[in-house]
Structure 1
Amino acid sequence: MKEWIRISLALSIFGFLKEIRPSEPFVYEFLIDHRWRNLTEEEVTQQVYPVGTYSYLALLVIIFLITDLCRYKPLIILLGASGIVIWSLLLWTKTLFEVQIVEFFYGVFCAAEVAYYSYIYAKVDKEYYQQVTSHTRAAILAGRAFSGILAQLLISFSLTNYRDLNYITFTAMIVATVWSLLLPSVEKSIYFHPEDLRTEPIVKKLSNAFKLMISHFTTSFSNTYVLKWSLWYALSTCGFIQVQTYMQPLWTAIVNDHSKPIYNGAVEAVLTVLGFLGALIAGIIKTNWRMKGELTLTMCSILQAFAIIYSSRTEKVFLSYVCYVIFGGLYHFMITVTCSEVAKYIEDDSYGLVLGINTFVALIFQTILTAIFVTDGVGFALKPRDQYFVYGCFHLLIAVIFICIGLIVWMKREKDYRKSVVL
């Protein structure tokens, strides 16, 4: 077996294992169930979930830098270890404060994923980037789909309860962590351990690393085309994470009857498959995104907005499920296009930095939304339905922004065209 295939397979197995989290589609129901917790719905949405958002934001930049400095593998191990901590605390703790600690470690878990996504690019040659990206993405989607289907089957056939799902996730995190120990170490990295400076003193390495980062940042974001797509990436990712995080409370509010069956796992599995198909279609479509980009981004944002607003008003949970799948499918389709367009106009080695910055900006926006509309004692602490009406309006605002950008681009093209005609 070729070395790059062996490494790609090893990382893909880890990616599959870390996504086996069947407890996640039903974690909200688990937390508010009086049999295992004494938490109210308001405490979970207004005091527990926001901690994860804030910790994710605080840790992302630090972990991004540490990932490159530590050469990836230690942070992948941290990813698995934080998963063990999360689900052990969920299983064997009860108080509000302890669940807030869980959310802090969930922030560590999410932030450490940057190591997983960037490790492969430090271990294989550039000529194999497309293949290994496909392998690792497929492994993640397969893990999520398997996890959602497994969770739904176990709950629908009353084979387990919500708490028992955490044992499966806990076991998967242990196996993933053990597997991470077997991953090959990385000898070089983009910023702190480049090939040509491996024997240099640490001070020179640090100086060159930050100079290269600044150079990549300046070159990438001085390009208005990259800046435009990065703005949509940040705003839309903010909206997607926020909608995904608080979707279960909305469904609980719509159903309003804990005795009725719910299909959260099945919905997440369908969304995962649809996301995979959307990403595949985005890779196949041949179009001039320079000419049609603003219009497509605007239309997708409008459709997402109406899907979320309708979800916030409907009394039928199945319609909300459909709207959520449509919303997520559009996001996965356009985020694939966005990443591709950004990658075309930046230096190869700066891809991780640019997407890391875009994600950080998305988390800043998400933190603002969380503080204003969700967190108790800080903002309005809205009910789930009112929150989702706000999120729908947020996506309408994204559409308005890109209508304005589209008009500016169109007027500039017309002006340049008239000048060329006169000349």
Structure 2
Amino acid sequence: MQFMEFFFSLTMAARIAYSSYIFSLVHPAQYQRMAGYSRAAVLLGVFTSSVLGQLLVTVGRVFFTTLHYLSLAFLTFTLVLTILLKRPKRSLFFNHIEPAPGGGASPSELDQMHPGVDGPSGRKLGGMRLAAWTLVRMLRELGNSLQLPQLRLWSLWWIFNSAGYYLIVYYVHILWNVVEPTTDSTKVYNGGVDAASTLLGAITSFTAGYVKIRWALWAKLVIGVVTALQAGLVFLMYHTKSISLCYVAFVLFRGSYQFLVPIATFQIASSLSKELCALVFGVNTFLATVLKTIITLIVSDKRGLGLEVCLQFLVYFVYFVLLSVAYFAAALGSLWHSRRDRHQPEPLAQELSSPLKEKDIQALNLQDGALSNLQPEATTLAPEDSTWAKGPVSRELSDSRELPEAKA
């Protein structure tokens, strides 16, 4: 199991790089659809493997060792396809991107904040020092980005809900064996259930790419509803003695989670520059893994409580209930503040569905404020000056006032 977890960690790291690579190829306006497409493609691949594995075991009576060989063959073929993909030629972090002449692409946000490769004292850096200084710049920009409410919300969802999701996925097969023990592999339909759940997840992920609502206002409520649904499904898996109901509950649980994954990916990616997407995805996944490990040590491991699998699912039910209560409380607070301020004209940024657009509006407002501070103050005219007529006389007066400055 530990050997499998090691390679699963490598897979998760590669998935983070895959998501960042996909977003680097498209315009930010297409982030939501691209997130839905990429997630649906991954789930369709899992669906295909699940169906193929179930057919080989049930109909072909193939041994599980043969399935491992087939998996290795598909992974080798995938590696060949990956090598043929277009690869980035340089890193956005450690290479300064000059704008193309004649109105090309603008520099990255990090380059705009800290142009060049100078250190804090203005000295040129190289090697490991350059990498360390760039990492510091990157973390500073990440700290500034965390001020966006949408980024904080979806990052917290990523951490807490992903930890609960993977706990269910890891231990649900053990629960199925407890609900209906069997030694005949031809009567085990775990692969078919995985196929159905991933197919539903692919459909919901694809649908999420076309959902158009005001996420800045309704995101917490949507997350709360989905999390409450997941809590009910986990309780059904814990309480039922029917393997069919347990299968259906897991399919719905997995499909509901996959609906929010592309939305979270889109909201996080559109809140950040392209340089920071992979960092945030990686940090969120790492924290989710740490949280999952802590819960596993407390609930499942022999060094902790060492609960049996049915009681573990009861603990996971309480976990999702607490999450849903927190999301509903946050949603009620947001709706109350929105209703209290409805008599005031809402700024344009609140009507946008993308945090990136809100960020651009804030930047424009800051630029306008800076330009207004640079405007010269109006000169107070003397009473006798107020009767002067506009025209050549005023121009002569202005020229006469500029003469001493020219001599000086």
2:332 is matched with 407
Question: 1:321 Cα deviation (Å)?
Answer: 0.9
Please give the alpha-carbon distance, in whole angstroms, between the structure 2 residues aligned to 1:185 and 1:418. Answer: 52
Secondary structure, aligned partner of 1:324: helix
Gaps (5+ residues) in structure 1?
A: 1-47, 49-99
Question: Against the structure 1 CA distance between its residues 341 and 104, is the aligned structure 2 distance closer, same or farther, given a 3 Å change threshold?
Answer: closer
Asked if structure 1 preserves the Cα contact closer than 8 Å seen for 2:28 and 2:270, the reply is no
Please give the alpha-carbon distance, in whole angstroms, between the structure 1 residues aligned to 2:260 and 2:35. Answer: 17
Work out whether 1:251 is the aligned partner of 2:176.
Answer: yes
Question: 1:234 Cα deviation (Å)?
Answer: 1.4
> TM-score when scaled to structure 1?
0.68
Please give the alpha-carbon distance, in whole angstroms, between the structure 1 residues aligned to 2:219 and 2:81. Answer: 41
Q: Which has the larger Rg?
A: 2
Q: Deviations over 1:22-48 (max 9, x none)?
A: xxxxxxxxxxxxxxxxxxxxxxxxxx3
1:191 is matched with 93
1:209 is matched with 134
Please give the alpha-carbon distance, in whole angstroms, between the structure 2 residues aligned to 1:293 and 1:133. Answer: 17
Question: 1:264 Cα deviation (Å)?
Answer: 1.4
Question: 1:399 Cα deviation (Å)?
Answer: 0.5
> TM-score when scaled to structure 2?
0.70
Work out whether 1:279 is the aligned partner of 2:181.
Answer: no
Question: Against the structure 1 CA distance between its residues 355 and 286, is the aligned structure 2 distance closer, same or farther, given a 3 Å change threshold?
Answer: same
Question: 1:326 Cα deviation (Å)?
Answer: 0.7
Question: Which residue among 362, 365, 368 is the counterpart of 2:294?
Answer: 368
Question: Which residue among 82, 85, 103 is the counterpart of 2:5?
Answer: 103
Q: Deviations over 1:255-295 (max 9, x none)?
A: 11223712111111112221121122222222222332222
Secondary structure, aligned partner of 1:368: helix
Secondary structure, aligned partner of 1:217: helix
1:27 is matched with none
Gaps (5+ residues) in structure 2?
A: 99-115, 118-123, 346-408
2:250 is matched with 324
Question: 1:328 Cα deviation (Å)?
Answer: 0.9
Work out whether 1:152 is the aligned partner of 2:54.
Answer: yes
Question: Against the structure 1 CA distance between its residues 104 and 356, is the aligned structure 2 distance closer, same or farther, given a 3 Å change threshold?
Answer: closer
Please give the alpha-carbon distance, in whole angstroms, between the structure 1 residues aligned to 2:81 and 2:213. Answer: 41
Aligned alpha-carbon RMSD (Å): 2.9
Please give the alpha-carbon distance, in whole angstroms, between the structure 2 residues aligned to 1:115 and 1:235. Answer: 21
Asked if structure 2 preserves the Cα contact closer than 8 Å seen for 1:254 and 1:315, the reply is yes
Question: 1:142 Cα deviation (Å)?
Answer: 2.8
Question: Against the structure 1 CA distance between its residues 246 and 292, is the aligned structure 2 distance closer, same or farther, given a 3 Å change threshold?
Answer: same
Question: 1:343 Cα deviation (Å)?
Answer: 3.2
Instruction: Letter of the 1:276 partner, please give it.
Output: A
Question: 1:338 Cα deviation (Å)?
Answer: 2.3
Matched residue count:
321
Instruction: Letter of the 1:163 partner, please give it.
Output: T
2:224 is matched with 298
Please give the alpha-carbon distance, in whole angstroms, between the structure 1 residues aligned to 2:80 and 2:272. Answer: 36
Please give the alpha-carbon distance, in whole angstroms, between the structure 2 residues aligned to 1:280 and 1:113. Answer: 18
Question: Against the structure 1 CA distance between its residues 209 and 116, is the aligned structure 2 distance closer, same or farther, given a 3 Å change threshold?
Answer: same
Question: 1:140 Cα deviation (Å)?
Answer: 2.1
Question: Which residue among 196, 204, 209 is the counterpart of 1:270?
Answer: 196
Asked if structure 2 preserves the Cα contact closer than 8 Å seen for 1:191 and 1:208, the reply is no
Question: Against the structure 1 CA distance between its residues 170 and 344, is the aligned structure 2 distance closer, same or farther, given a 3 Å change threshold?
Answer: closer
